[in-house]
Amino acid sequence: MVPLLIVLGALILPMFCCTLYVRGRRVDTTPRTWGAKRLTLSVLGSLPLVVFALGASYQNSAHFVWANSLIGAVIGGLIGGFVTARRSKQRRRAEAAAELADVD
């Protein structure tokens, strides 16, 4: 189990450091639109973490635990998708309002 935790740390640590750097620079990272490229890269970037978590829970527990973990991952992914879509919509509305304010 310890080698798996080391691999997970190796996956998460660079993401955490990048997140801190970007937030420190106050960069707006909410996408305006979701294209095929953004969706593909998002799925591919998240896939190792999902596979690791499901594999670790499958390896070290009963059948119902990893099945419930899979259900929780799907629900969490859907919630994350809805939140991101809502923020993108809010951003587009704010940009449209700013454009209207500049035109007047």
What would the pLDDT profile of 56-90 be if each residue is shown by its tens digit?
A: 777 766 777 777 877 888 898 899 889 888 888 88
| pLDDT the model gives residue 79 | 93
Distances, alpha carbon 48 to alpha carbons 6, 54, 94, 96, in Å: 14, 10, 35, 37
Confidence of residue 4 (pLDDT cuts 50, 70, 90): confident
Confidence of residue 1 (pLDDT cuts 50, 70, 90): low
Distances, alpha carbon 77 to alpha carbons 1, 8, 10, 17, 42, in Å: 25, 19, 22, 22, 11
3-state secondary structure of 67: helix
Interatomic CA distance for residues 84 and 90, integer angstroms: 10
How many domains would you assign to the chain?
1
Q: Is residue 37 predicted with pLDDT exceeding 70?
A: yes
Interatomic CA distance for residues 104 and 101, integer angstroms: 5
Q: What is the pTM of this model?
A: 0.58
Write out the residue range of the structural domain in which residue 41 sits: 2-103
Output the average pLDDT for the chain.
81
